[in-house]
A = this chain, B = another copy of it.
């Protein structure tokens, strides 16, 4: 068996991938005596998830011409992403995020990304041919919040995909630290209008729909389909997910796992869903893999490191297995 040759991607995505500095133990960050060095970014997390499950994924983004930027590219390339469209920006540093678990149930993330290379993404970085070659274009609500040029890049990619008939997947991913709820609601609602597949949390759904707190989840999902996407999935963390897929409601029960890091679960869920979708998997398989990928992601302290390979999916069914 030969290592996979590089071919046309199943999923193309664009966004910012940062170096992630992570406190190794629970507690106030200032007591951390070392920080673990990793990387993360919602879009590349998803792209790695696709790759682990046997798909091909390409990532578009910018890093600084510095060691942290080289780390990002080495990790993404090492995980099998197609990074040929990545840009090394000599004018700005690679962004950082600093993550600490304050208690076993509260995680804190701070960013050093103002003016970062990643936030300088612009429409020229988006290779139209690459977008057109994809089976799915995936974008998130983080990128448009990074800068006006990044927002224009997302819009350009979506427009290109819409024009070429490439389905657009959107994960709303609202980040409070980056923009106001009002700004976000407008932009994300507009983007949703151009998407075919939509991932959101309950809070994000309410934000975009300006829905009152008591609206039932399934109604929220259904209202989101009214914006355009035929496939809407509401992620509920430890409580699973609900979805409206081509008009029919679905409930996705959660896996019971020992969670150590909730960050990345949403990206994993979307990766699981899309990985099956590009293989032509039926709804049940898509949802099952989505839930499994989310469960894997939270058992490992890292945003994407725990994502499952296809042959590992079966491990979830077992109970204290020792394989030897």
Contact = CB atoms under 8 A, between A and B. Distances in A.
B36 A33 contact: yes
A312 interface: yes
Contacts of A175: 324
Given A108-B323, A110-B93, A259-B320, A33 B27 contact: no
Interface in A180-208: none
Interface stretch (A157-165, A224-232, A273-281, A299-307): A299-307
Given A5-B84, A37-B33, A300 B26 contact: yes
Contacts of A85: 2-3
Given A2-B87, A29-B67, A35-B37, A109 B300 contact: no
A1 B296 contact: no
B86 A112 contact: no
Contacts of A238: 319-320
Tally of this chain's copies: 6
A240 interface: no
A80 interface: yes
A79 B85 CA distance: 17
Interface residues of A, number: 86
A260 to B, nearest CB: 7
A6 interface: yes
Given A30-B67, A33-B37, A96-B112, A105 B319 contact: yes
A301 to B, nearest CB: 6
Contacts of A301: 25-27
Given A2-B85, A25-B301, A238-B319, 4 more contacts: A1-B90, A68-B98, A77-B80, A238-B320
13 contacts: A1-B87, A25-B301, A28-B300, A29-B67, A30-B67, A30-B71, A74-B79, A77-B78, A78-B78, A104-B299, A106-B323, A114-B114, A238-B320
Interface of A: 1-3, 5-6, 21, 24-37, 65-68, 70-71, 73-75, 77-80, 83-90, 93, 96, 98, 100, 102-112, 114-115, 175-177, 237-238, 257-260, 262-263, 296, 299-302, 305-306, 312, 315-316, 318-324
